[in-house]
Amino acid sequence: MLVIGMLFNRYAKKELKQVILVRGDLKLPKGKLAAQSSHASVDAVLKSNKKIVKMWRLQGMKKVVLRVSGLKELKHCINAANAAGLTTTIITDAGKTVVEPGTITCGAIGPDEAEKIDEITGHLKTM
């Protein structure tokens, strides 16, 4: 019970968010972009600490969709987030509609402390 209280106190005072990173070089149609972003968001939440998710939900589940230039920048951000101890995911498309099978389309970081995520993604622009 003490651990739950400590986590609650730690995250209750911090802004929490999730960042979705979308490859700009793929020029995905809006519907495909929305679907791939949703896959990334849900997968990252399912991998995340349940206490953080609960606090994030109470704060309104802030999400920001950012553009990365391509696969190299996506992997760089995801690797930096992993090194910082943040939850991440990378989405690989099945290739049934717009892109070739196995194409990495996007990724997600968090939810977690906005300040930690911004250290990695603060230089990126929104979609």
The count of residues in the chain is 127
Q: What is the pLDDT of residues 37-68, one digit of tens each?
A: 999 999 999 999 999 999 999 999 999 999 99
Taking residues 28-32, what's their average pLDDT?
97
Q: Which residues of 106-122 are buried (b: 16+ CB within 10 A; e: fewer)?
A: bbbbbbbbbebbeebbe
Contact 22, 77 (CB under 8 A): no
- Look up residue 61 and give its DSSP letter: -
Please report the pLDDT score of residue 13 as a whole number.
Answer: 76
| Superfamily grouping for domain 16-126 | Bit1 (3.40.1490.10)
Rounded to whole angstroms, how far apart are CA atoms 51 and 24?
33
* Boundaries of every domain in the chain: 16-126
Question: Where residue 11 falls among pLDDT bands split at 50, 70, 90?
Answer: low
What does the mean pLDDT of the chain come to? 93
